[in-house]
Amino acid sequence: MTVSHDFKGRRVLVAGGSRGIGRSIALGFARAGASVSICARGAEALEAARAELAAAGPGRMHAASCDLADQAQIEAWVASAADALGGVDVLVNNASGFGAGDTEEGWAASFGVDVQAVVRASRAALPWLERATSASVINVSSISALKPSTRTPAYGAAKAAVIHYTTSQAALWARRGIRVNCVAPGSIDFPGGLWEQRRDSDPKLYEGTRRSIPFGRFGAPEEVAEVVMWLASDGARWVTAQTIAVDGGQTLGV
């Protein structure tokens, strides 16, 4: 991390926080003094991330297993996190079903998690966010939402819906004192992630994607986390309903 923030006393929930972008977001907030709760399905990765959080900062750390395609489990996680941390100031909706192809399964996975988890976690957290003095929601979309895709049509459409819903949330919740923004990451490479897998399984796609990024490299999860933290900070207190692409110029197409 290269950006310094002070989140002491803040309570932050990160959906999908055990690996990749979500893990980096959670660690960033923990190192900045926040109390943090994460959820994910994989028990081993979840416990490893919880231990990292506990070592990273002075705040209270909480983790719970949660299938983000299941409404009841989302509601249970948010309630347990709010109880463990003493409330909710920031909600980061970072979850994806990664539904790629134009199939029933792809569409169900994309909208069942990428869209519905945002809606459900936001609704569940709303009673606590309304009580916070500097409440903020950050939704994680993708640059796939910004252009057509023959490779991932379901994923791109779902992420476009997240961007649209972000603006609706912002309009609905502004008078409640809650800011809602969105980040749209480009191609982010991290251990165990999609692009690490593609490096071996589809090197042509991997190299073609890398060359399409003007800076000649993939992004890092920490670079997305820093933008998320800024959006949650008092430095962005007059920013709402915005989507920021964090892609190293990948969408420029140059």
Q: Residues 6 or more apart from 34 whose CB is under 8 A from it?
A: 7, 8, 9, 10, 11, 12, 57, 59, 90
What is the DSSP code (8-state) at residue 87?
Answer: S
| Catalytic pick among 122, 142, 144, 187 | 142
Query: Out of 37, 122, 159, 165, which one is annotated catalytic?
Result: 159
141 is known as an active-site residue: yes
Residue position matching structure tokens 């640059």: 143
Active site residue 159: yes
Q: Count the helix, strand and coil residues of the chain and give each as a percent rounded to the nearest 5.
A: 50, 15, 35
d(CA 244, CA 238): 15
For 165-181, give the DSSP string. Answer: HHHHHHHHHGGGTEEEE
- The one catalytic residue among 155, 165, 187, 233: 155
Q: Please give the positions annotated as active site.
A: 141-142, 155, 159
